Chains A and B, each alone.
Chain A
Amino acid sequence: MVRVGIPRALLYFKFFPLWKKFLDELGCEVVLSPKTNQKILEKGVEIGFNELCLPIKLYYGHMAKLLDKYPDLDYVFIPRYIALDTKGFYCPKFLSLPDAMKANFHDMPPVLEWEVNSKQNLKAVWAIAFGRQLGMPTTRIMDAYSKAVHYYKEYHEVLRKGVPVPDALESVEKGEPFPDPSEIEEKPLTIFVLGHPYNTFEEFTNMSMMEKIQEMGANVLALENLPERVFEHRVKVSDKFDNYWGNEQDILQASNYFYNSGADEIDGVIFLISFACGPDSLIAEIVMRDMKDRGVPYMSLILDEHSGNAGLMTRIETFVEMIKRKKLMEVTH
């Protein structure tokens, strides 16, 4: 059986069910690096160059850990997501991810590179090109890919019902059926946590922020839990000008949704950004100004490898407390 290693970082949090199902159907055994811990972070910071953003540094750390833990891997899986629609682009660091990894780890096993560039071809064509690297016949690849896409849709439906992403990912990893959505108890506050999945669900670097907000008596809403209609239209940044970043698209769509119609559904927005994230440095500016116009409380939290638990907690507590008071004022007046 062919063993394929995947680092548990970056786009893992978004596309892992798709990859896992596809590779399973192609007859590969998928192994993952362990969950992020202090050692992985340190290793990543050591290897990665200091101006890189935190998720990329974590990717370096996970890659090193993966190669260290499983020396007998047949392949390492590194995606190269270029564009998921004809107009978009991913961030340059995603575009050159396999190159950056190859430059750093000289004696790594052969790389399985999944390039997706919808500007040039259909996604299925790229999937076939990917499967060919494993020496599979086209019919089998097509079959596997359609199953994987179906599975990925199912996964998203489960998320929309309210299953937390980490739980769903865990069940995908173990090959179990998805967990049922637990009963959500009604809480007075709803806080929308905006951000890339590799920031919001990376529980080590964000200090399990989601759970802590829940403990403070607020419901947490993430991008993945929003209804499908939010993500229908492209976002215009100015009159003539569309957003082009693929991985910022849903963030802007969500912020647009709350700006236009859904402002009453939430009480506050927390935007999780990793330090030196290029796209987010500009997107956060748009979201901040939108929310300010709309009067929705907004806070941006910037994560890096030096983030301290206490500081983060204080800020979240203050934010939640402030919203509570605001609601109280609204009720009393």
Chain B
Amino acid sequence: MKITFPNMGSAIYAFKALLEPLGADVVFPPPVTKETIDLGVKYSPEFVCFPFKVNVGDFIRSIESGVTNLITATDFGPCRFGFYHAIQERILRDLGYDFRMIALPQGDLLEFKWIKTLDEVCEYTGLKKLSAAWKGVRLFLIKAKLIEDIENAEGKYRCREVNRGDTDRIKRELLEKLDATKRLKDLRNFRNVIHEEFQKMDMDMSFEPLKVFLTGEIHVTLEPYVNRDLKKKLGKLGCEVTQTLSLHDWIMHKFHVNFHRKEMAHLARPHMPLDIGGEAVWVLGEYIWAATHGYDGFFHLYPFTCMPEITARGIITNKLLKEYDLPPLFVSLDENLAEAGLITRLEAMVDLMHGKRKKKNEYKQKLNAFMDSEKQDYLANQQQHK
């Protein structure tokens, strides 16, 4: 059974790890390109959010390349995501395609509704099925964590690389290596491999980058074509990118064991007491966290008219910005985003952050000088008293 799923950055390697042990022949979706987006925009409702359109494009291209089993996640939360698969299925059926849509419920993973879906996909019977599913889930979680590690390292080291393109190459190689590793045993040491590979790279360790925090809606933040590879652009402009958002982060949250997200929700509680879907609550929490941990800037990516994220944006611009004074840049993504415009905005933002940091440093120096003189005065006084 050939099976595929929509694109979501490097998270596709984790999905493959989940489905392959079940005996399915996993095919990666064709990478997102202009063609995908054009197809999606053509057949989707007019002002639905952007990930919907990209997914429709992905599905059409997958079906046309001969893969007719599509698996996609679904939710039961307040945002539009829960309706995705139902309406996408209807649109594709009306277009006359013959396919099978399999929904993977992720509303609350501790309800274990997803087991039924895995059962549906699995090719084996009896005990083999059980062991296959167990292996799939473990591989999925471990690989998702490793992908997160690779992406974190990428964000951290790209601004320091001496030879342009080293980080991309290492990331690509590591992901390929990860994809080729099929056994749990071989993954034990992989974390160290990631570390070593990045340490081998030529780096300018004296460089002091700007520290920025990148977050937003999960699909657009993880899929590099959709966000025009914002992370890479920031790295090239000399910013060290922190991004806690990843597939692993999300899955752990859905298993109720993500303590990072719990902390963020706690920070955001005075401003938004409940989860309203998307990443709104955690975006607020992360904004506060980043502002109190010495970050220079905050980048928020969201699809155009995304309901939860624009609420979060409203609260940041109207309230939190005045309280915490961390410069945010909001990028609203849709099919009409022009790359040149985005680059201009990024450059302006980087300039602003440099200016702000300079001011901060000057203030710090002044403060230090003042403190030193005070200290000397105090010491001199003490001397006199003696």
Contacts and interface: CB of A to CB of B under 8 A. Distances in A.
B103 A241 contact: yes
A33 B276 CA distance: 28
Contacts of B90: 238, 285-286, 289
Given A51-B304, A92-B308, A241-B74, A100 B80 contact: no
B307 A92 contact: yes
Given A49-B310, A95-B274, A282 B45 contact: yes
A96 B276 contact: yes
A278 B94 contact: no
A237 interface: yes
A225 to B, nearest CB: 27
Contact of B319 (A52, A93, A103, A279): A103
Interface in A82-138: 82, 87, 89-93, 95-96, 99-100, 102-104
B370 interface: no
Contact of A100 (B45, B274, B304, B314): B314
A102 B323 CA distance: 14
A104 B87 CA distance: 35
B310 A89 contact: no
Interface in B297-315: 304-308, 310-311, 313-315
Nearest to B82: A244
A93 B45 contact: no
B89 A100 contact: no
Contacts of B272: 96, 99
A276 B303 CA distance: 12
B48 A91 contact: no
Interface string A238-251: 10110011000000
Interface in A1-54: 49, 51-53
Contacts of A96: 272, 274, 276, 280, 308, 311, 315
B340 to A, nearest CB: 22
Contacts of A103: 271, 314-315, 318-319
A275 interface: yes
Interface string A266-303: 00000000011011011011100100000000000000
Contacts of B89: 238
A61 to B, nearest CB: 15
Contact of B314 (A49, A90, A241, A285): A49
B327 interface: no
B64 interface: no
B374 to A, nearest CB: 37
Contact of B78 (A90, A104, A240, A284): A90
A304 B332 CA distance: 19
A19 to B, nearest CB: 21
B94 A92 contact: no
B77 interface: yes
B83 interface: yes
17 contacts: A52-B314, A89-B76, A90-B78, A92-B280, A92-B307, A96-B315, A99-B272, A100-B311, A238-B85, A238-B90, A275-B47, A276-B47, A278-B305, A281-B48, A281-B80, A282-B48, A285-B91
Interface of A: 49, 51-53, 82, 87, 89-93, 95-96, 99-100, 102-104, 237-238, 240-241, 244-245, 275-276, 278-279, 281-282, 284-286, 289
- State the 3 A-B residue pairs at the shortest beta-carbon distance, nearest first: A89-B78, A103-B319, A238-B86
